[in-house]
């Protein structure tokens, strides 16, 4: 069985800046002998979904803006940096960057958390298209969509860390 500190060290960043999810998963006995993507993802998602609405909002707010100020300042987590670069968000034209900045601002003003999308396999046009569609959602619908995207991001991060069954 993996030790608590090792589990938290390995999986505490799967949900952006939210190690409490890994801590609770371990402490609540969700972690078994076998660590594979499906089991760990199921455990972490169960904890995330059981968290209070304020805690889940905190997880959403822990995510950086896409192509935003943290990216420009070089202050993204390694995972976020790789994910955004893989989608080409580190190579935007000035016009594209301006559009992302406008959408980021409008989105946060409307919903109170940044636009979140699992960017793996997407290019900047697909991301921009999703951004422009989702900004018209209700807050409740977007909270659910963002929550599902956070869970998808966690799955993709776990796939890079663990074997599948």
Mind telling me the catalytic residues?
Answer: 63
Q: Using an 8 Å Cβ cutoff, are 59 and 15 in contact? A: yes
Give the separation between CA 112 and CA 109, rounded to whole angstroms: 6
Torsion of CA 103, 51, 154, 8, to 10 degrees: 130
DSSP annotation of 16 reads T
Number of helices and strands in the chain (H, E): 9, 0
């Amino acid at each position: 069985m993996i030790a608590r500190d090792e589990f938290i060290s390995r999986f505490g960043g799967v949900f952006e800046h939210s190690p409490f999810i890994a801590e609770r998963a371990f402490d609540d006995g969700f972690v078994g002998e076998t660590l594979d993507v499906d089991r760990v993802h199921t455990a972490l998602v169960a904890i995330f979904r059981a968290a209070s609405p304020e805690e889940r909002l905190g997880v959403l707010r822990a995510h950086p803006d896409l192509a935003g100020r943290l990216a420009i300042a070089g202050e993204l987590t390694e995972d976020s940096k790789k994910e955004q670069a893989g989608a080409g968000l580190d190579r935007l034209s000035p016009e594209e960057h301006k559009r992302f900045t406008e959408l980021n601002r409008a989105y946060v003003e409307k919903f109170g958390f940044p636009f979140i999308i699992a960017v793996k396999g997407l290019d900047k046009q697909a991301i921009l298209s999703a951004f422009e569609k989702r900004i018209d959602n209700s807050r409740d619908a977007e909270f659910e969509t963002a929550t599902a995207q956070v869970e998808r991001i966690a799955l993709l991060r776990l796939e890079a860390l663990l074997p599948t069954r």
